[in-house]
Amino acid sequence: MSRNIAIEMLNQVPVQDQQIELVERKCLGHPDSIADGIAEAVSRALCNTYIDQFGGVLHHNTDQGEIVAGESMPQFGGGKIIKPIFILLDGRATKEFKGEKIAADTVALQAAKEYLHSIVPELNLDKHLIMDCRLGTGSTDLRDVFNPEEGKIPRANDTSFGVSYAPFSDIEKCIKEISSYIDTTLRPKYPVYGQDIKIMGLRQGNSIKLTICCAMVDRYVSSLSEYINYREKLAEEALKVAKTCTDKHVEVFVNTADCDVECSLFLTVTGTSAEMGDDGSVGRGNRANGLITPHRPMSMEATSGKNPINHIGKIYNLLSNELAHTCVEKVDGIAEIQIRLLSQIGVPIDQPLIASAQIIPKPSFTMKDIEKDVFEIIDSGLENITSVTERVIRGELKTF
């Protein structure tokens, strides 16, 4: 059965060339990102538990959860946590199947704690955390089970959609690269840089301003002057990374709300503001491409924690993102592409109601040059849609 794929030209100025552009990323230790990461870790752990126990993934959705901030007293050289962080796990999971019970709650608790520990290692989970689990029960029909080896295409759980675009603009690239550079290169050397980082970028014409709010871990910084040095170092390093992503003029500001007296510094005991004052929720941070982009089409769906079998809000957002980037990489002449996949409840997920690509061609190209290849990329992506599921379960696809 042929797929309903519509490709049309988009008659507008690429975001990259508009006058103003605003982009934001909440890095892994931001409370909203922690919530997303936990939701996704719990879903993956459940998938693996179901596969181990029954050979297939059973119904669940853990795209919920709340992080309620604690209270801390950071100080140079090392402070302390006064009141623990509270985390509520919720959502639905199958807890009984074919007469056999499933330890869904214990699986969820363990996965959530392991993930949290990997992101906020300074947090002592025994004394700085209260984690509650109120995972409801969902029921799984036999026909709901997704068996990765059977290769049957699941049916869409809902009428919903996914949306994405490519390529990344300069400012988007800057933000993604800086985030990645801090995680992989800078923090291993300087553990003072906590995981709770928010990077905001504003482009006005050819001028880019990047504002980085980075939680400093107090036991790795002994004084205000050292704090200031670390702050300046981060600004310099970020600027270097940014310059590899753009020719535009870039300025970097780090922890600008600081007034150089201790009380207002972004000093933390654990490297996340969830220790003091900032709550977090699933689905309120980055979209599936790792960014918040108010000048771009976005889906409000929480991608993290949704089951990766038949939950359109997850699968179509991830797939549209992949498809858009593949089109830009593989097909010449695309200045900007937006892809929207719209599902029909109850219909196999490889058969969207409509898969729509809107393309702004590069100056010397026409839609004709582009159309056919884009069609094939989208068609083939839908053909192999269960690979999204599999890679999510293996943890190879990021949702935030």
Tell me if 302 contacts its own copies by CB under 8 A: yes
SS percent in the chain: helix, strand, coil, step 5: 35, 25, 40
On whether 260 is known to bind a ligand per the annotation, the reply is: no
Stretch that binds its own copies, among 230-238, 348-356, 374-382, 391-399 (CB under 8 A): 348-356
On whether 333 is known to bind a ligand per the annotation, the reply is: no
DSSP strands (E only) in 167-264: 193-204, 207-217, 249-254
Tell me if 77 contacts its own copies by CB under 8 A: no
Rounded distance, CA 341 to CA 76, Å? 50
Distances (CA, A) of 201 to 146, 194, 204: 41, 20, 10
Tell me if 298 contacts its own copies by CB under 8 A: yes
Residue number with CB closer to its own copies (133 or 216): 133
Tell me if 128 contacts its own copies by CB under 8 A: yes
> Of residues 16, 353, 373, 391, which one binds its own copies by CB under 8 A?
353
> Of residues 133, 174, 339, 374, which one binds its own copies by CB under 8 A?
133
The first and second tokens of residue 158, run together, are 């809902």
Tell me if 53 contacts its own copies by CB under 8 A: no
> Of residues 75, 82, 118, 147, which one binds its own copies by CB under 8 A?
82
- Cβ(111)–Cβ(118) below 8 Å: no
> Of residues 98, 101, 143, 189, which one binds its own copies by CB under 8 A?
101
The first and second tokens of residue 8, run together, are 């049309």
Tell me if 197 contacts its own copies by CB under 8 A: no
**Which residues face 336 on adjacent strands?**
360
Tell me if 19 contacts its own copies by CB under 8 A: yes
Total binding residues toward its own copies, as defined by CB under 8 A: 84
Q: How far is the CB of 125 from its own copies (least distance, A)?
A: 7
Tell me if 98 contacts its own copies by CB under 8 A: no
Q: How far is the CB of 161 from its own copies (least distance, A)?
A: 6
Tell me if 399 contacts its own copies by CB under 8 A: no
Rounded distance, CA 88 to CA 65, Å? 5
The footprint of its own copies on residues 276-295 (CB under 8 A) is 277, 279, 281-285, 287, 292, 294-295
Q: How far is the CB of 188 from its own copies (least distance, A)?
A: 26
Distances (CA, A) of 74 to 77, 130, 268, 273: 9, 20, 5, 11
The first and second tokens of residue 33, run together, are 């990102």
- Cβ(56)–Cβ(393) below 8 Å: no
Tell me if 113 contacts its own copies by CB under 8 A: yes
The footprint of its own copies on residues 204-263 (CB under 8 A) is 204, 211, 256-257
DSSP string across 154-186: PBPSSS-EEEEEES--HHHHHHHHHHHHIIIII
Residues of each annotated binding site for ATP:
136-141
